[in-house]
Amino acid sequence: QKEVEQDPGPLSVPEGAIVSLNCTYSNSAFQYFMWYRQYSRKGPELLMYTYSSGNKEDGRFTAQVDKSSKYISLFIRDSQPSDSATYLCAILSGGSNYKLTFGKGTLLTVNP
């Protein structure tokens, strides 16, 4: 079973739409749940991360984790054309190394 699964999309929405991006994971040992944004030919940029089940909000972005179903989501409100990018979920495993395991990424296009 793959460790982190993410629907690769692509996803195309009109400006102002609410976007929902989702991942599932298989390993209960995973501890921190992260969302990265990656623009073309750039490295991943951390958007936000959370540890516990529930919601965490940062501006227009809300990260949601449901540990019981091993499901994580990122919601983008009032989406903007500048939000067009690939969104990567990533799970951080514990121990001293804090290795990241990534999903494949969802390509999002927000149309003006």
Q: Minimum distance from CB of 100 to other proteins (Å)?
A: 6
Pairing of strands 54-58, 61-66: antiparallel
- Residue 40 makes contact with other proteins by CB under 8 A: no
Q: Minimum distance from CB of 89 to other proteins (Å)?
A: 11
Candidates 61, 71, 75, 102; binder of other proteins (CB under 8 A) is 102
C-alpha–C-alpha distance, residues 75 and 63, integer Å: 6
**HSE-up of 97 (CA within 13 Å, CB side)?**
4
Close Cβ partners of 108 (under 8 Å, ≥ 6 residues apart) = 9, 10, 11, 12, 13, 19, 21, 76, 79, 83, 84, 85, 86, 87
- Residue 43 makes contact with other proteins by CB under 8 A: yes
45-64: contacts with other proteins (CB under 8 A):
45-46, 49
Q: Minimum distance from CB of 1 to other proteins (Å)?
A: 15
Q: 39 or 55, CB closer to other proteins?
A: 39
C-alpha–C-alpha distance, residues 92 and 32, integer Å: 5
- Contacts with other proteins by CB under 8 A lie at 4, 32, 34, 36, 41-46, 49, 88, 90, 92, 96-105
